[in-house]
Amino acid sequence: MIYPVRWQEPRVDLRELAKLRFIDGWSRKKLASHYGRTEEAIQNYFQKIKKKGILPD
Per-residue pLDDT, 8: 78
Per-residue pLDDT, 2: 79
Q: How far apart are CA 32 and CA 17, in angstroms?
A: 10
Residue ranges of domains in the chain: 25-57
Instruction: Confirm if 57 and 19 have CB atoms less than 8 A apart.
Output: yes
pLDDT in tens, 17-37: 999 999 999 999 999 999 999
Dihedral sign (CA 55, 27, 51, 8): negative
**Average pLDDT over every residue of 3-17:** 85
pTM for the full predicted model: 0.79
**Average pLDDT over every residue of 8-17:** 90
Per-residue pLDDT, 9: 78
